[in-house]
Amino acid sequence: MTQVSHVRATPTEIEFELLGNLARARGTTVESASAQDLYQALALTVRDHLIDRYIRTTKAHYEANPRFVYYLSAEYMLGRQLGQNLLYSGTADVARSALEALGVDPAEVAALDVEPGLGNGGLGRLAACLLDALATSDIPAVGYGIRYDFGIFKQEFRGGAQAERPDDWAYYGNPWEFRAPDDQQHIGFYGSTEPAGGNRAVWTPGETVLGEPSHMLVPGYGTGTVNIIRLWRARSAPESFDLSQFGAGRYGEAVEAMVRSGTISAVLYPDDSTELGRELRLKQQYFLVACSLRDIIRRYRLRNDGWDAFADKVVIQLNDTHPVIAIPELMRILVDEEGLAWEQAWSITRRVFAYTCHTLLPEALETWPVGLLRRLLPRHLEIIYLINHVFLQEVAALYPGDADRLRRLSIIEEGGEQRVRMAHLAVVGSFAVNGVAALHSRLLTETTLRAFAEMMPRQFHNVTNGISPRRFLLVANPGLTRLISARLGGTDWLRDLDRLAELEAAAGDPDFRARWRAVKRRNRQDLAAHALSEAGVSLDPDALCDVMIKRFHEYKRQLLRVLHVIVLYHRIKRGDLTGVVRRSVVFGGKAAPGYHAAKRVMLLANTVAEVVNADPDVAPYLKVAFLPDYNVTRAELIIPAADLSEQISLAGKEASGTSNMKLALNGALTIGTLDGANVEIRDRVGADNFFLFGMDATEAAALRAGPYNPRTYYELDEELRAAIDAVVGGPFACEGADLLVGELLTRDEYLTLADFRAYVDCQDRVAEAWRDQEEWTRRSIRNVARSGFFSSDRTVQDYCRDIWRVEPVPPGRD
Ligand code: B1H
């Protein structure tokens, strides 16, 4: 380690600050510091460099008293903070030099930065990309969420099957967050209500929990704005510790209520397959919403009085149905606590909320049993009934005698046990509803929410998702970012992604193409190193890097990908090299712990990987790497290396997809169906630069509606038959394979067999195209040049213009 005397001789500002933080925050010196000490001190130093901007942002917001966007989401996949904050604060280079001067390996320190995995997948990462874009666009905004003690589980493979380990992400402390116990909130659950005249009631909760917030900084890129995300953690109220029980030696009983309170924010989406699990999940949702609404009102009151301006100063975006209980909660606050008339409260509420729907799958549309709500949130159930009553009167007036329509629109689902349809509550209580890609928004109005769209067509919007070019290019792919910046002259394009169009001409420049290929190859080398250490697979850095990264779900059809790998395996084994080029097939993704069908596909993918990778005849052409524990950090490694992006869901099922955008922006060509945002990607990059196959949503729905016999495809297609046979009794046999194949041949819910031939033939076209590297590179560059639309900055602009009607408040630069 370098002598401290040397450090004193050349104290750069950062070195000085770092040593100061090491001393004051960690109580140590550079000679005795652990790597963790150094990491924490570095993180604090970098955070300090964003704080002035945050203070200035807060001041500017206070002065302007603007309309704020409040984003409510049960999930955020923020990704690692250190790399991002170094780049956004402009301290990356000095920090590196400072560490090196201190004799510290920057990579070793950076490796200790932990990703807060406070989400499941695309929906959570979208929330993070939108916050990034909001700050970058100088929009006054706060994200609200839950500070789960345990984030998304860590995935391991045991014998090829997924095993889940808890993710104690903040064990060493999270240096990026500021605790604010003084802003804590008291949240009630259970208990009873009593009428208090008119529509008012008094709710006496049976249990109270404290919500303690902490915030993390959300810096904009290339601007002075630093917004925040506020995350709530559940704590027990002091009175829930039972001293008398403790005194009597009954320690377990003494802390029982305390422990129960804490479980509310203990885990991201606990298993909801049991009654208890479901209750906890609804508790989480209400906890998030109740804490956040109180905080929003507190903030509003800093600069405003009364309720007249509330709906002008506040817009609350509901990220899917998880926070929708906010609608009756605001009504409860306004009517019961603030004494507003029902109509006035409803008018405010309906001007405050907007709802984003992220799915078309009926099983993903949340409903809560009325009995559970009555017990947990008795007053909210009464309010929901009243909202529904008034709403159905409107419906009856508009459509006299149409009982079927009343049933379809009702917030309450009848038949058996009554349930509350959260999506219906969301639409009724919001001024705007949006889907997340053009096709999805259209299908929403034609299917899932059709009756609502007929009744209130102007309330429905489309806002196509986007991704942060900072996270997925600047942070993840420095090589490509440098190359693009050199061509475009500086890094301004990272705030104005349409400027990527200027790369169009570069596709015709052989020198540029060679450098483009060199960057991709470098990235494949980095990925290969990771695949070797994490999955024990050695990948050829010159092979086509063929990537499928997303949650495991049957509709996404990872199984189709696996069947094609088996086809390639069979062809190579028999010496038929049709459609064969050197390929690295990369998988990443987790399955919900209780989703057995998805886990069967995962086990099959790992089994195929094992057999393929061990076969010396096949190894020169084909490798399969299932990289464990896919998360944002792994995405940052895989995406820059990818050449081919697998977006092969059954058309009409994937609301949008966002890995499709991340991969296209990193120069991968897409093989995909006309589903979700694939449609818009293809429209923009051009049909020549996109490998399209399979049924569209209309054809798929028609095939589903009629008699469908998947076995016919098996019988008529020899390659398909060989692939499936190899799974049942052949080399790829594994546990559950019989179930999997049984389902495939009899039901095939997601029409995998119907799209099989089109997919395999399309993959042959991919291989053919890959053989011409110059042409492939041209297409890769064009994909990037034409994908500027998929920046989350554009998504935020769309929300601002069509839904939020908010204006930027620039705080001025450093
Ligand atoms: C999306 C979810 C989701 N849609 C329930 N819905 C969850 C629903 O744990 N839960 O209860 C978790 C997640 N996630 C995804 O959102 C869509 O499937 C993608 O197509 C879309 O790109 C993404 C962002 O809009």
pLDDT tens profile 675-690: 999 999 999 999 999 9
Is any ligand 1 atom within 6 A of the Cβ of residue 556? Answer: no
Alpha-carbon gap, residue 133 to 143, rounded angstroms: 12
What is the reported pLDDT for 244? 86
CA dihedral sign, ordered 413, 321, 211, 258: positive
Residue of minimum CA distance from atom 3 in ligand 1: 123
Does ipTM surpass 0.95 in this model?
yes
**Mean predicted confidence (pLDDT) in 625-630:** 98
Cα of 703 from ligand 1 centre, angstroms: 25
Ligand 1 atom at minimum distance from 436 CA: 25
Ligand 1 atom at minimum distance from 654 CA: 20
What is the reported pLDDT for 1? 30
Cα of 124 from ligand 1 centre, angstroms: 8
**Mean predicted confidence (pLDDT) in 497-520:** 98
Is any ligand 1 atom within 6 A of the Cβ of residue 270? Answer: no
Ligand 1 atom at minimum distance from 440 CA: 20
Please report, rounded to a whole number, the percentage of residues in the chain having pLDDT higher than 90.
92
Residue of minimum CA distance from atom 13 in ligand 1: 123
Residue 565 has pLDDT above 80, yes or no: yes
CATH topology assigned to domain 65-80+115-465: Rossmann fold (3.40.50)
Is any ligand 1 atom within 6 A of the Cβ of residue 269? Answer: yes
Is any ligand 1 atom within 6 A of the Cβ of residue 465? Answer: yes
The residue among 690, 658, 664, 662 whose CA lies nearest residue 677 is 658
Residue 624 pairs in a beta bridge with: 585
pLDDT interval class at 249 (50, 70, 90): confident
What is the reported pLDDT for 243? 85
Ligand 1 atom at minimum distance from 658 CA: 22
Cα of 122 from ligand 1 centre, angstroms: 6
What is the reported pLDDT for 363? 77
Amino acid, single-letter form, for residue 432 = A
Is any ligand 1 atom within 6 A of the Cβ of residue 654? Answer: yes
CATH class of 509-786: alpha beta
Alpha-carbon gap, residue 588 to 590, rounded angstroms: 7
Structure tokens, 224: 């002075």
The domain segmentation of the chain, as residue ranges, is 65-80+115-465, 509-786
Cα of 126 from ligand 1 centre, angstroms: 9
CA dihedral sign, ordered 492, 494, 497, 500: positive
706 phi and psi, to 5 degrees? -90, -175
What is the reported pLDDT for 790? 98
pLDDT interval class at 813 (50, 70, 90): low
Is any ligand 1 atom within 6 A of the Cβ of residue 364? Answer: yes
Ligand 1: which of 123, 443, 656 to mutate, most ligand atoms within 8 Å of CB?
Answer: 123
Ligand 1 atom at minimum distance from 272 CA: 11
> Taking every pair of C-alpha atoms in the chain, what is the biggest distance, in angstroms?
88
Is any ligand 1 atom within 6 A of the Cβ of residue 689? Answer: no
Q: What is the pLDDT of residues 785-808, one digit of tens each?
A: 999 999 999 999 999 999 999 999
Q: What is the pLDDT of residues 384-412, one digit of tens each?
A: 999 999 999 999 999 999 999 999 999 99
Residue 814 has pLDDT above 60, yes or no: no
Residue 8 has pLDDT above 50, yes or no: no
**DSSP structure class, residue 628:** S
What is the reported pLDDT for 261? 84
Is any ligand 1 atom within 6 A of the Cβ of residue 358? Answer: yes
Is any ligand 1 atom within 6 A of the Cβ of residue 657? Answer: yes
Q: Please, which residues have CB within 8 angstroms of residue 349's CB and are 6 or more apart in sequence? A: 327, 330, 331, 334, 429
Alpha-helix residue ranges (DSSP H) falling in 536-616: 558-573, 596-614
Cα of 181 from ligand 1 centre, angstroms: 32
Residue 4 has pLDDT above 60, yes or no: no
pLDDT interval class at 782 (50, 70, 90): very high
Average of per-residue pLDDT values in the chain: 95
Residue 226 has pLDDT above 80, yes or no: yes
Residue of minimum CA distance from atom 14 in ligand 1: 123
Please state whether 223 falls in left (phi above 0), alpha (psi between -120 and 50) or beta.
Answer: beta
Topology agreement, domain 65-80+115-465 and domain 509-786: yes
482-520 in b/e form (b: 16+ CB < 10 A) is ebbbebbeebebbbebebbbebeebbeeeebbebbbebb
Alpha-carbon gap, residue 697 to 708, rounded angstroms: 16
Residue 539 has pLDDT above 80, yes or no: yes
Residue 226, classified by CB atoms within 10 Å of its CB into exposed (0-12), middle (13-18) or buried (19+), is: buried
Helix (H) or strand (E) holding 84: helix 82-88
Cα of 123 from ligand 1 centre, angstroms: 5
Ligand 1: which of 152, 320, 358 to mutate, most ligand atoms within 8 Å of CB?
Answer: 358
Residue 538, classified by CB atoms within 10 Å of its CB into exposed (0-12), middle (13-18) or buried (19+), is: middle
Q: Are 471 and 129 in contact (CB under 8 A)?
A: yes
What is the reported pLDDT for 3? 30
Is any ligand 1 atom within 6 A of the Cβ of residue 123? Answer: yes
Ligand 1 atom at minimum distance from 551 CA: 18
**Mean predicted confidence (pLDDT) in 569-582:** 96
Q: What is the pLDDT of residues 298-329, one digit of tens each?
A: 999 999 999 999 999 999 999 999 999 999 99
**Mean predicted confidence (pLDDT) in 65-75:** 98
Q: Are 560 and 755 in contact (CB under 8 A)?
A: yes
Cα of 549 from ligand 1 centre, angstroms: 15
Is any ligand 1 atom within 6 A of the Cβ of residue 660? Answer: no
Cα of 685 from ligand 1 centre, angstroms: 25
pLDDT interval class at 258 (50, 70, 90): confident
Lowest mean pLDDT among 81-85, 97-101, 504-508, 752-756: 97-101
**Mean predicted confidence (pLDDT) in 413-437:** 96
Question: How many of the other CB atoms lie within 10 Å of CB of 144?
Answer: 28
Q: What is the pLDDT of residues 132-168, one digit of tens each?
A: 999 999 999 999 999 999 999 999 999 999 999 999 9
Lowest mean pLDDT among 4-8, 502-506, 558-562: 4-8
Residue 241 has pLDDT above 90, yes or no: no
Is any ligand 1 atom within 6 A of the Cβ of residue 656? Answer: yes
Is any ligand 1 atom within 6 A of the Cβ of residue 45? Answer: no
Is any ligand 1 atom within 6 A of the Cβ of residue 284? Answer: no
Cα of 323 from ligand 1 centre, angstroms: 14
Is any ligand 1 atom within 6 A of the Cβ of residue 676? Answer: yes
Ligand 1 atom at minimum distance from 356 CA: 25
359 phi and psi, to 5 degrees? -150, 165
Q: Are 628 and 606 in contact (CB under 8 A)?
A: no
Residue 812 has pLDDT above 80, yes or no: no
Is any ligand 1 atom within 6 A of the Cβ of residue 655? Answer: yes
What is the reported pLDDT for 275? 62
Ligand 1 atom at minimum distance from 592 CA: 9
Is any ligand 1 atom within 6 A of the Cβ of residue 227? Answer: no
Cα of 175 from ligand 1 centre, angstroms: 29
Alpha-carbon gap, residue 382 to 235, rounded angstroms: 28
**Mean predicted confidence (pLDDT) in 451-478:** 98
Alpha-carbon gap, residue 377 to 375, rounded angstroms: 6
Is any ligand 1 atom within 6 A of the Cβ of residue 652? Answer: no
Residue 521 has pLDDT above 50, yes or no: yes
Structure tokens, 138: 């100088």
Ligand 1 atom at minimum distance from 465 CA: 25
Residue of minimum CA distance from atom 12 in ligand 1: 120
Helices and strands: H and E segment counts in the chain = 34, 25
Ligand 1 atom at minimum distance from 322 CA: 11
Can you say how many angstroms the Cα of residue 433 is from the centroid of all Cα atoms in its chain? 19
Residue of minimum CA distance from atom 22 in ligand 1: 657
Look at 742 and 249; give whichever has higher pLDDT: 742
Is any ligand 1 atom within 6 A of the Cβ of residue 678? Answer: no
Cα of 452 from ligand 1 centre, angstroms: 21
Cα of 358 from ligand 1 centre, angstroms: 6
Catalytic residues: 358, 550-551, 556, 658, 662
Residue 5 has pLDDT above 50, yes or no: no
Ligand 1: which of 129, 153, 359, 448 to mutate, most ligand atoms within 8 Å of CB?
Answer: 359
Ligand 1 atom at minimum distance from 676 CA: 20
Question: How many of the other CB atoms lie within 10 Å of CB of 61?
Answer: 21
What is the reported pLDDT for 276? 62
Q: What is the pLDDT of residues 350-362, one digit of tens each?
A: 999 999 999 998 7
Is any ligand 1 atom within 6 A of the Cβ of residue 658? Answer: yes
Alpha-carbon gap, residue 385 to 328, rounded angstroms: 10
Please report, rounded to a whole number, the percentage of residues in the chain having pLDDT higher than 70.
97
Cα of 359 from ligand 1 centre, angstroms: 6
Cα of 627 from ligand 1 centre, angstroms: 22
- Predicted TM-score (pTM) of the model is 0.97
Residue 627 has pLDDT above 90, yes or no: yes
DSSP string, 657-705: -SHHHHHHHTTPEEEE-S-TTHHHHHHHH-GGGEEE-S--HHHHHHHHH
What is the reported pLDDT for 256? 86
Lowest mean pLDDT among 2-16, 38-52, 501-515: 2-16
3 state SS of 575: coil
Is any ligand 1 atom within 6 A of the Cβ of residue 359? Answer: yes
